[in-house]
A = this chain, B = another copy of it.
Amino acid sequence: MDTPGLATPEEVEHAFYVAFQAADLAAMMQVWADDDAVACIHPLGPRLQGRAAVEQGWREMFQAGTPLRFEVVQSQRTHGQLLAVHCVRELIYFGPQLRRRTEILATNVYRKTPDGWRMLLHHGSPVEASEVSGADQGTLH
């Protein structure tokens, strides 16, 4: 039976960013597949492979205690029967009054499991300031 709140890739993605913003490690790990194929690449970081490494990565990030606010912009979704791939832009606000902003491009992959969908891969990477694009960004260069 599908876990409530984790029945579709969209629900899993929502839960992922809620847990990320709340720095809630238990909620974060519920989002991930119970599978050592899971992997997480934080911006400029190494590839964290397997649940233990993924969990340790989030633990360290959450312990840093930096308040963040997320705005997630969907760029592209492609769904198969067993896998779904979402590409998103994460606009992350931080610093005093959460007024500074950075942009991360993320590829999120979800896998269908007997209990609903779960995250299999999160790959986030920074965009160089001069390369940031988008209608809300001003000019490309």
Binding site for B on A (CB under 8 A): 37, 39, 41, 43-47, 49, 75-76, 78, 80-85, 87, 89, 105, 107, 109, 111, 120-121, 123-128, 131-133, 140
Do the beta carbons of B83 and A80 come within 8 Å of each other?
A: yes
Chain B residues, Cβ within 8 Å of A44: 125-128, 131
Interface centre among A78, A82, A120, A140 (most CB of B within 10 A): A78
Q: Which residue of B lies closest to A81 (CB)?
A: B81
Chain B residues, Cβ within 8 Å of A81: 80-82
Do the beta carbons of A133 and B46 come within 8 Å of each other?
A: yes
Which of B37, B125, B126 is within 8 Å of A78, CB to CB?
B37
Chain B residues, Cβ within 8 Å of A83: 78, 80, 82-85
